[in-house]
Structure 1
Amino acid sequence: MTGYFVQAFIYLIAAVIAVPLAKKFGLGSVLGYLIAGVIIGPVTGLVGKETVTIQHFAEFGVVMMLFLVGLELEPKMLWQMRHRLLGLGGLQVALTTGLITIIAMVFGQPWQTALAIGLIFSLSSTAIVLQTFNEKGLSKTQGGQNAFSVLLMQDIAVIPMLAFIPMLALPEIADAAASLKEASEHHQELSLVSGLPSWAYALAILASIVGVIVTGHYLSRPLFHYVASSHLREIFVATALMLVVGIAALMSLVGLSPALGTFLAGVVLANSEFKHELESNIEPFKGLLLGLFFITVGAGINFSIFADNLVVILGLTLLVMLSKAAILWLLAMIFKINNSDRWLFALSLAQAGEFGFVLLSFTMAQHVIAPDVAAILQLVVALSMFLTPVLFIAFDKIILPRYRDAINQMEFDDIDDCGTVIIAGAGRFGQIVNRLLVANGIKTVMLDHEATQIENMRRIEIKSYFGDATRPDLLHTAGIDDALMFVVAIDNIDNSVALTHHIKKSHPKLTVLSRSFDKGHSYALRQAGADFTINETYHSALELGAEVMRKAGLHPFFVEHKKTLFAQVEQDASDDLYQKWSNSEEEQYGSDYQKLFIRLEQAIKSAMGRDRLDKHSASERGWTPPPKGYDKKL
Structure 2
Amino acid sequence: MADAHSPAAFVVPAVTLLAAAVVAVPLFRKARLGSILGYLAAGLVIGPFGLRLISDPSAILHIAELGVVMFLFIVGLEMRPARLWSLRKQIFGLGLLQVGVCAGLLTLVGMAGGFPPAVSFVAGAGFVLTSTAIVMQTLEERGEINTPPGQKMVSILLLEDLAIVPLLALVAFLAPAVTGVADGNLASRLTAVAIGIGSIAALIVAGRYLLNPLFRFLAAQGAREVMTAAALLVVLGSALALQSGGLSMALGAFLAGVLLSESTFRHQLEADVEPFRGILLGLFFMAVGMSLDLSVVAAEWRLVATYVVAYMVAKAIGIYAVARLTRSNHGEAIERTVMMAQGGEFAFVLYAAATSAGLIDGRANATLTAIVIISMVLTPLALMGLKYLMPKDESPSLDGIDVADGLTGEVLMIGFGRFGQVVSQCLLAEKAEVSIIDNDVEMIQAAATFGFRIYYGDGTRLDVLHAAGAGKARLICVCVDKREAADKIVELVKAEFPLAKLFVRSFDRGHTIHLRNEGVDYEIREVFESALVFGQEALAILGVDQDAAAEIAADLRKRDAARLEMQIHEGIQAGMHLMHQQKPTPTPLTEPKRKAKPLNPEAEDVLSDETRFSG
Give the alignment's TM-score, normalised by structure 2: 0.64
State the partner residue of 2:85: 79
SS at match of 1:285: helix
Shift, 1:135, TM fit: 1.1
Further displaced range: 375-384 or 275-284: 275-284
Alignment of 1:385-534 (within 5 A): 385-400=376-391, 491=440, 493=442, 516-517=443-444, 521-525=446-450
Given that 1:125 and 1:349 are in contact with CA atoms closer than 8 Å, whether structure 2 keeps it comes out as yes
State the partner residue of 2:476: 544
Given that 1:162 and 1:256 are in contact with CA atoms closer than 8 Å, whether structure 2 keeps it comes out as no
Given that 1:10 and 1:46 are in contact with CA atoms closer than 8 Å, whether structure 2 keeps it comes out as no
CA distance in 2, matches of 1:126, 1:535: 32
State the partner residue of 1:138: 144
Counterparts in 2 of 1:340 and 1:140: CA distance versus 1, 3 Å: farther
CA distance in 1, matches of 2:356, 2:16: 32
Question: What one-letter code is carried by the residue in structure 2 that aligns with 1:49?
Answer: S
Counterparts in 2 of 1:331 and 1:386: CA distance versus 1, 3 Å: same
Shift, 1:273, TM fit: 1.4
1:563-609 CA-to-partner distances (Å, cap 9, x unmatched) read: xxxxxxxxxxxxxxxxxxxxxxxxxxxxxxxxxxxxxxxxxxxxxxx
CA distance in 2, matches of 1:318, 1:31: 19
State the partner residue of 2:512: none
SS at match of 2:334: helix
Shift, 1:626, TM fit: 8.5
Given that 2:178 and 2:359 are in contact with CA atoms closer than 8 Å, whether structure 1 keeps it comes out as no
Asked if 1:8 corresponds to 2:14, the answer is yes
CA distance in 2, matches of 1:74, 1:306: 44
Given that 2:169 and 2:189 are in contact with CA atoms closer than 8 Å, whether structure 1 keeps it comes out as no
Question: What one-letter code is carried by the residue in structure 1 that aligns with 2:286?
Answer: I
State the partner residue of 1:283: 274
- Report the structure number with the largest CA radius of gyration: 1
Question: What one-letter code is carried by the residue in structure 1 that aligns with 2:35?
Answer: S
1:74-98 CA-to-partner distances (Å, cap 9, x unmatched) read: 2211221122222221111001111
State the partner residue of 2:57: 51
State the partner residue of 1:168: 174
Alignment of 1:37-436 (within 5 A): 37-41=43-47, 44-170=50-176, 197-198=188-189, 200-400=191-391
Shift, 1:26, TM fit: 1.2
Shift, 1:335, TM fit: 1.7
CA distance in 2, matches of 1:54, 1:96: 31
SS at match of 1:146: helix
1:226-274 CA-to-partner distances (Å, cap 9, x unmatched) read: 1112212211111111112222222233322222222222222221111
1:463-487 CA-to-partner distances (Å, cap 9, x unmatched) read: xxxxxxxxxxxxxxxxxxxxxxxxx
Counterparts in 2 of 1:304 and 1:148: CA distance versus 1, 3 Å: same
CA distance in 2, matches of 1:148, 1:37: 27
CA distance in 2, matches of 1:205, 1:535: 48
CA distance in 1, matches of 2:448, 2:243: 61
Question: What one-letter code is carried by the residue in structure 2 that aligns with 1:213?
Answer: I
Equivalent pairs: percent with the same residue?
35
CA distance in 2, matches of 1:391, 1:145: 21
Counterparts in 2 of 1:491 and 1:3: CA distance versus 1, 3 Å: closer
Given that 1:121 and 1:320 are in contact with CA atoms closer than 8 Å, whether structure 2 keeps it comes out as yes
Shift, 1:48, TM fit: 4.1
SS at match of 1:544: strand
Give the alignment's TM-score, normalised by structure 1: 0.63
CA distance in 1, matches of 2:216, 2:335: 43
CA distance in 1, matches of 2:205, 2:234: 14
CA distance in 2, matches of 1:534, 1:243: 38
Given that 2:73 and 2:253 are in contact with CA atoms closer than 8 Å, whether structure 1 keeps it comes out as yes
Given that 2:475 and 2:500 are in contact with CA atoms closer than 8 Å, whether structure 1 keeps it comes out as no
- For the aligned residues, what is the CA RMSD? 4.0
Shift, 1:301, TM fit: 1.3
CA distance in 1, matches of 2:540, 2:83: 48
CA distance in 1, matches of 2:136, 2:116: 34
Shift, 1:129, TM fit: 1.0
| Number of residue pairs the alignment of both structures matches | 443
Shift, 1:163, TM fit: 2.5
Given that 2:99 and 2:160 are in contact with CA atoms closer than 8 Å, whether structure 1 keeps it comes out as yes
Given that 1:173 and 1:370 are in contact with CA atoms closer than 8 Å, whether structure 2 keeps it comes out as no
CA distance in 2, matches of 1:267, 1:490: 29
Shift, 1:314, TM fit: 1.3
Shift, 1:142, TM fit: 4.3
Shift, 1:144, TM fit: 2.7
Counterparts in 2 of 1:270 and 1:525: CA distance versus 1, 3 Å: same
State the partner residue of 2:404: none
CA distance in 1, matches of 2:448, 2:190: 73
Counterparts in 2 of 1:82 and 1:231: CA distance versus 1, 3 Å: same
Given that 2:118 and 2:178 are in contact with CA atoms closer than 8 Å, whether structure 1 keeps it comes out as no
Unaligned runs of 5+ in 2: 1-5, 395-414, 421-437, 460-467, 479-489, 504-532, 547-615
CA distance in 2, matches of 1:90, 1:202: 18
SS at match of 2:52: coil
Counterparts in 2 of 1:205 and 1:141: CA distance versus 1, 3 Å: closer
Counterparts in 2 of 1:553 and 1:335: CA distance versus 1, 3 Å: closer
Unaligned runs of 5+ in 1: 176-180, 182-192, 405-427, 434-488, 494-515, 528-532, 560-622
CA distance in 2, matches of 1:171, 1:107: 21
Given that 1:71 and 1:267 are in contact with CA atoms closer than 8 Å, whether structure 2 keeps it comes out as yes
CA distance in 2, matches of 1:133, 1:340: 16
CA distance in 2, matches of 1:149, 1:277: 26
1:526-576 CA-to-partner distances (Å, cap 9, x unmatched) read: 69xxxxx999999x9997369999x9699x9xx9xxxxxxxxxxxxxxxxx
State the partner residue of 1:503: none
Question: What one-letter code is carried by the residue in structure 2 that aligns with 1:226?
Answer: F
Counterparts in 2 of 1:202 and 1:86: CA distance versus 1, 3 Å: closer
Counterparts in 2 of 1:78 and 1:629: CA distance versus 1, 3 Å: closer
